[in-house]
Amino acid sequence: MSSAAAEDAAGTPAPSSGPRRRKSVTGTRRTVAALFLLPALVLLGALVVYPIGYSLIRSFLSQSGDSFAGFDNYRALFTDDGIRTALKNNIIWVVFAPTVSTALGLIFAVLTERVRWGTAFKLVVFMPMAISMLAAGIIFRLVYDQDPDKGVANAVWVGVHDTFAESSAFPKAHPGRQSPLRPDRGGFVTATTVHTGRTAALPLVGVAPDRMPKSAGPAARAQPQPGKVTGTAWQDFTRGKGVGKLGAVDPAEQGYAGMRIEAVKDGRVVASTKAAADGTFTLPAAADGARLRLPASNFREPYNGVDWLGPALVTPAVIGAYVWMWAGFAMVLIAAGLAGVPRELLEAARVDGANEWQVFRRVTVPLLAPVLAVVTVTLMINVLKIFDLVFIIPPGSSQDDANVLALELYRKGFSEDQPGIASAIAVFLLLLVIPVMLFNIRRLRREVRR
């Protein structure tokens, strides 16, 4: 019986004797698909595969590239001081930068859901993402400037500090020629004792007229008072040759307004006071027979804030600039994940008696765990390659302390002419990134299957 007859008899087609070729879903032939993919594959090979292969081969050659060096370049990764510092800083970056950025993004995303102006707040937080790393580096180089008149960070820090511990107005003041004052533990003390009914002269020099406090007025000679010690603390200097008398109060001279004076007996302060606008002061009878001391607090240097870009704080300072840029990125992704959280679960937890902190910790965070993992891992990949901010923000004196692997790669390859070690650093960075990248890809595929 023929196949056609069998088909007519059974009502179904007879099975084919040979294998059938599977047709593309879109009806496109594999050859045509390959031709369309060819340009992308060529670019991928030229821009990704070839550089990786060349770097791998170059990492096993000498610096000149003429001979095989074995693992010498890789050995340098763990023996060179600069590379070890860079590796240590990279670990700090990977631990803290993604964690802080993700935590802030989570906080911002949760809080902005509850306020009317949440969209505007998200826009402001996300705006730094529109700024290039170069521009952000220049901005924060100015923010961290040591001078409080230029650096915003130190302007705020100095303002807070001076609110609780005001700096002295006389940091450069010191005794002049033939002065009755002697140095004493950062301050000055009279060489002789003072007695009631007499006046004491405390002349100082060294403060520029334009640096005198605004409250300072013309100095006045103190008048003796029975049962009290009086005196004057003033700037014993008058401009002009031969003008004024040394050790005497002259009309053109100014009093040290607010200068603190202590009466000291046997190392113990028995009385203290502050000078008036004209420099005069009065101490009670307890000061009789004591020495007058101008304590070191009168001569404290003005507080100039924190050395943000010094060796100790430069890495946290640069991480702060990174967080400023990328917290908005984390916030947007987490907010998108938060929008997909079933509200009935949150309401059920509140009905069961959970407070807002418990709802956040026991319900919101576990439901957002996949999103938080993706954000954290993405930022980890990003910080492993950080270069721009570390290159721009730290000054030359502390750039070695802020060094990271990407910056060290640039230095070895272009400044120190050691391409073998630079290639080894590049391969090492690739090896560090691959596991994190694979973890991220697997998690994304798992989310797609759901």
pLDDT tens digits along 160-186 = 877 776 667 788 888 988 889 999 888
Q: Which of 123-137, 248-262, 265-279, 429-443 comes out lowest in average pLDDT?
A: 429-443
What pLDDT is stored for residue 3 in this prediction?
A: 46
What pLDDT is stored for residue 227 in this prediction?
A: 93
Q: Which of 1-15, 76-90, 278-292 comes out lowest in average pLDDT?
A: 1-15
What is the Cα–Cα distance from 78 to 2, expressed in whole angstroms?
78
What pLDDT is stored for residue 417 in this prediction?
A: 84
Using CA atoms of 214, 216, 217, 222 in order, give the dihedral in degrees to the nearest 10. 170
What is the Cα–Cα distance from 108 to 335, expressed in whole angstroms?
9
Angle subtended by helix axes 369-384 and 314-339, to nearest 10? 150
What is the Cα–Cα distance from 71 to 60, expressed in whole angstroms?
6
277 within 8 A of 217, measured Cβ to Cβ: yes
217 within 8 A of 255, measured Cβ to Cβ: yes
What is the Cα–Cα distance from 362 to 268, expressed in whole angstroms?
60
What is the Cα–Cα distance from 212 to 174, expressed in whole angstroms?
14
What pLDDT is stored for residue 2 in this prediction?
A: 47
Tokens of residue 214, six digits: 């605004």
> Is pLDDT above 70 for 127?
yes
CA-based angle 237:240:245, to the nearest 5?
45
Q: What is the DSSP letter of 239?
A: S
> Residue 447's CB: how many other CB atoms inside 10 A?
12
Residue 231: helix, strand or coil by DSSP?
strand
Q: Classify residue 377 as left (phi > 0), alpha (psi -120 to 50) or beta.
A: alpha
Q: Classify residue 204 as left (phi > 0), alpha (psi -120 to 50) or beta.
A: beta
Tokens of residue 319, six digits: 């991480």
Backbone angles phi, psi at 162, to 5 degrees: -70, -20
> Is pLDDT above 90 for 200?
yes
192-202 mean pLDDT? 93
What is the Cα–Cα distance from 368 to 370, expressed in whole angstroms?
6
> Is pLDDT above 90 for 86?
yes
What pLDDT is stored for residue 5 in this prediction?
A: 47
For 193-304, strand residue ranges (E) read 199-204, 229-235, 260-265, 268-274, 280-283, 291-294
> Is pLDDT above 50 for 6?
no
- Exposed e or buried b per residue across 160-174, where buried means at least 16 C-beta atoms within 10 angstroms of its C-beta: ebeeeeeebbbeebe
> Residue 308's CB: how many other CB atoms inside 10 A?
24
167 within 8 A of 299, measured Cβ to Cβ: no
pLDDT tens-digit map of 60-70: 998 888 889 88
**Residue 133 burial class via C-beta count within 10 angstroms: exposed 0-12, middle 13-18, buried 19 and up:** middle
* Amino acid code (one letter) for 259: M
Q: Which of 233-242, 358-367, 374-383 comes out lowest in average pLDDT?
A: 233-242
Query: What is the pTM for the complete model shown?
Result: 0.72
Q: Which of 10-14, 133-137, 208-212, 231-235 comes out lowest in average pLDDT?
A: 10-14
Q: How far is CA 109 from CA 103, 329, 335, in A?
A: 10, 11, 5
Closest alpha carbon to 386 in 170, 101, 36 = 101
193 within 8 A of 245, measured Cβ to Cβ: no
Q: What is the DSSP letter of 23?
A: P
Question: What contacts 274, CB < 8 A, 6 or more positions away?
Answer: 258, 259, 260, 261, 281
